[in-house]
Chain A
Amino acid sequence: MQSHESHAWLWWIPLLPLIGSAIAGALHLATLRARKNDPSAAAPGTLAPWIACAAMAAAFGLSVKGFFTLQELAPSARQLASTVHHWISVNYPARGEFAVDLSLLLDPLSSTMTLVVTGVGFLIHVYAAGYMKGDPGYGKFFAYLNLFVFAMLMLVLSSSLLGVFIGWEGVGLCSFLLIGFWYEKGWPAEAAQKAFVMNRVGDACFLIGSFLLVRLFGTLDMATIAGAIGRGPVELEPDVQLQVSLAALFLFGGACGKSAQFPLFTWLPDAMAGPTPVSALIHAATMVTSGIYLIVRLNPLFASSGWVLPVIGVVGALTALIGGSTALVQRDIKKVLAYSTVSQLGYMFLALGTGAWAAAVFHLVTHAFFKALLFLGAGSVIHGMHEEQDMHKMGGLRKYMPQTFVTFLAGSAALSGLPLMSGFFSKDEILAHAFAGGGLYWGLWIVGVLTAALTAYYTWRMVALTFFGEERFDRHHVHPHESPAVMTVPLMVLAVLSVVGGVLGLPPVLHAPHLLAEWLEPVTRDGSRILAERAGEHELSHTLEWILLGLGAAIALAFAHTGFHAHKRGTAQDETLTARRPALAAWLADAWTIDTTYKRVILLPLRLVSFVVAVVVDQFAIDGTVNGIGASARDVAQWTRRSATGSLAGYAMWMGAGAVVISLVWMWS
């Protein structure tokens, strides 16, 4: 049903940010050149945000155009494609042709992602224009940020896994560059390196998964793969089933790296070393959701993968719990939000594990709204507090920054799932699906509900510590102030979206259409059908749904109330916990000591092995051998060199001898 008409304009969606990036980069270089001799010279780099924001606005406009073009089509025909180049084509005599095209595909899923990336991305760009003002790397920052958006759009728009991988590596690179943006400070550079290295583990899994898919299907085109599984038999041959399961497992491994899931999540909290707009854009709203996108894109594969789906659910629930519990005790406001992001991403994977594809995307969208808002709000606070991130040194800020405060409240309400907020509906839908799954999923449901309670608690603890209570900063030196309009207006837009975003996916009991699920239905149809045929449908009765909704609302309200009241008077509650249960507090603060365990179990032995390899194996054995070979090569070389004596007669003799020998040999053979 793929429309054969080519939509080359699709390429402008990623290309515009790429062009913006190039211009912003050039402006930055021009600034450097201008400032080389005269530090007070006018900086062309100050134009960079205009360019970058214009590129984002235009890309968003095109995404909207794409959305409406899709909407005019019949649901099953909602696919716009554009192929510009048959990139790779290899003929294997035995297996047929393996071809990869450079092509883009816009369908309901990539359209949703594109709208989020360009829409939320645009707001964050605008905000960053205010936040990064005065930074010496102003132009460079926007060059990186636009480059990131380009890579992210390639990731969500490419129709082949190779294209996705290019975007996947591209966002990884930009994430590295932006986490380490302030590399002169030292620790951001280390955090960037950690993020990069941990992502490589996931990337390797991604590659292995792709290879397995090539082996199975002979192609990397995701629509072809999904279609082949969707049309095939529901029960697979055992060996095919094993390969499908392994491919799905490895791709999920890739998703774990990029989307910060257990056991590869520890880079995300460290990634907060980057400027706050980066945390909002890359480490909350867009890049970290790539893994969810990938799984939804290949949902028939995952639906057919058998035991992999429960594994995804368990990993998601476990990550949600680890993230949620760790966020309880953090003092750094950005760390709270970082662990919260880990936890919410865990929810999305929990949804995927139950086969609730649309619910995962729904939570992805609402999370993009409210978590971007919270990060930007936190950035506004940090900005107003002269780069202070410790909540124990804040307090009572609501009267200094009223706009930030109100919008932050909206974001917190959505994150904690207070009734009728966007996060309430999306989280509830995930929990309802887990509840309906039965068996193992019951256990996951319990973990999910527990995490929901933790979420409400830490969110309102954060609100209370930051905006309420006594002012715990040095009022002689710190003068909190509201941020400029360029920063607060994006906050307001996001606040509205966080509050009303729930209308995208209202639960069935309200007898309203689930807009997002209907929109995504052409993409998720095959996966859902396979799951239904394999495991049977799970429908909840309306009464049960009401009960679950009510339970969710009650838990959110109760724990939000507790969290707020326990902390609104200051840091006493935190100190009590540390005093009474020091071991527990330390264990929680260190994220269940997973990162420390890595250091001890992986990093330390690795360093030891590296040392042995470097000194004994490399310097002694290998260098010795290689140098030996090299030295003998050089001896041979000297000998060869001597053959070029410069004597003409000698050369002619060699030639003559050569002709004679060749003649003789050929006559013989």
Chain B
Amino acid sequence: MNPQDLLTLFDAAAMTALAPLIALALGTLAVLACGIIPGGSVVRPIAFLASLAAAAAYCVKTLVDGAPATLVLDGTFQSGPTTAVWGLVFIASTLFAWLYSAHYYEEDAPFKGEHDVLMLATPIGMMLMAGAHDLLVFFIGLELLSIPLYSLAAFRRDRIRSIEAGLKYFLLGAFAAACFLYGAALLYATTGSLSLDVFADPTRRAVILDQPLALVGVALIASSVFFKVSVFPFHLWVPDVYEGSPTPVTALMETGTKAAAFAFLLNALAMLPNSTAGSIALIAVITMAAGNFGALAQTDVKRMLAYSGIAHAGTLLLGVAGSLNGDPARGGAIEAALYYMAAYVATAGGAFGLLALLERENKGTTTLESLKGLAQRRPVVAAALTLFMLSLGGIPATGGFLGKYLVFSVAVRAELIPYAILGVLLSVVALGYYLRVIIAMYMQSPAEGSVVPESRPTPFATTLASVVCAALVIGLGILPRWFLEVM
């Protein structure tokens, strides 16, 4: 390849599209360098935030320009307002996780530098996934996200559960990655291309999706994405991994990773045959059932939230199914998914973040028992956690309600009404465990003889992140129009 070709490949449009990724990549290098240079640990948070801010600014710029989505880099990467909003969602998710991690680690605190490098690398992978228009680009993004996450999951090296989480995540993730590659290879064998372009033309798409080999390829690719978003039956790893990982990392996995995988799924929807809508809706409902009933049995809040995350993935998958089944409103599913994930990043991010705070206070436990009487000890934390629980449960006037409303309307418009009804009923089950948290905090007092932990002053980073999350949850709940217009 001669230099001239490189210049055509990386033209102005491509550089604009890649600007947020480049900002994050440079930031990652800077944070890495902070580990070597003297006094670097002081500069590190600044470098981290500056890189996130620059990336966010580029996303906002794309959003404000409002230019329609374009394909760059020889048609392998897509950039436009939708990817920009996704980018903001990823950045927010990383930011919240990082803020909550600031005072989380104890014995591992000396390695916070490595932690931050790994964390800052994840949104690059997410953005590559969300914008991928080519299966290989997606795979690079997937690995760029996954490998740091494997290490982050096992970050607390002297805790057996953390190591276990990392290892489990890594082995199953490798399995899923293999599925993906195999699927991509099968698709390449039938179409001679790895680009999603081949599905753009309806007649060609019909021809491809008529071949059993291509269908197996698509199914394998879908399976690996299902693994990332954690839907049935690819969800079993979730509780173990989420419980064992450091809580801020769990927040990142629960929000950012899921959002990135859904972004790709919606982007590559043309790959799936329309006839799969029914089976995907079925998977969605089973996932909701598995998540909600699983959560109901938990006594550990962190594990409960892990199951609840599975249920949320199922809900969102129902919107995907609706889109496949022919939602009359164009772009309705993408809008719903963006709204849902934006609300979810703030809600789950805030919930896990506060859990991280309480976990440190309670010497590592996050059981329902340890939350009893929290409203008396820490009224503000209890109130914020209540808000997040209500939003997770989809109570009106929170962002969670409107996200659910939008997703279920996609399903209803697409005439998946029985599934939508089942989904709504399963959301009622979900209230069973969200409200249990509120009950424990407000209506129960700590068991006799239990040691009530000393309240420490809340770190500034935690307060900041929680206030932003709470404001977003309420804002998304009462000013939906404003947010929808921005999107």
Contact = CB atoms under 8 A, between A and B. Distances in A.
A654 interface: yes
Contacts of B172: 648, 651-652, 655
A662 B236 contact: no
B168 A648 contact: yes
B293 A655 contact: no
Given A88-B481, A640-B290, A644-B239, A663 B279 contact: no
Interface stretch (B51-59, B116-124, B218-226): B218-226
Contacts, number: 98
Nearest to A663: B219
Interface string B315-328: 00000000000000
A667 interface: yes
A643 interface: yes
Interface in A647-662: 648, 650-652, 654-659, 662
B218 A666 contact: yes
Interface of A is mostly: helix
Nearest to B224: A659
Question: 5 shortest A-B CB distances, which residue pairs?
Answer: A637-B297, A663-B219, A659-B223, A637-B296, A658-B233
B283 to A, nearest CB: 8
A634 B297 contact: yes
Interface of B: 168, 171-172, 175-176, 179, 212, 215-216, 218-220, 222-223, 226-227, 232-234, 236-237, 239-240, 273, 275-276, 278-279, 283, 290, 293-298, 429, 432, 479, 481-482
Contacts of A85: 479, 481-482
16 contacts: A630-B432, A633-B432, A640-B293, A643-B236, A644-B240, A648-B168, A648-B172, A651-B168, A655-B176, A655-B179, A659-B179, A662-B222, A663-B220, A666-B276, A669-B273, A669-B275
Nearest to B171: A648
A652 to B, nearest CB: 6
A576 interface: no
Contacts of B290: 640, 643
Interface residues of A, number: 33
Given A637-B296, A640-B294, A666-B276, A651 B215 contact: no
A656 B171 CA distance: 13
A667 B294 contact: no
A655 B297 contact: no
A665 B278 CA distance: 11
A663 B215 contact: yes
Nearest to B223: A659
Given A644-B294, A663-B215, A666-B218, A633 B429 contact: yes
A657 B233 contact: yes
Nearest to B176: A655
Contact of B297 (A640, A652, A663): A640
Contacts of A477: none
Contact of B481 (A87, A634, A646): A87
A541 interface: no
Contacts of B481: 85-89
A654 B279 contact: no
Given A633-B432, A655-B172, A662 B219 contact: yes
A641 interface: yes
A665 B293 contact: no
A656 B176 CA distance: 9
A669 B280 CA distance: 12
Contacts of B236: 643-644, 650-651, 654-655
Nearest to A639: B293
Contacts of B432: 630, 633
Contacts of B171: 648, 652
A641 B219 CA distance: 27
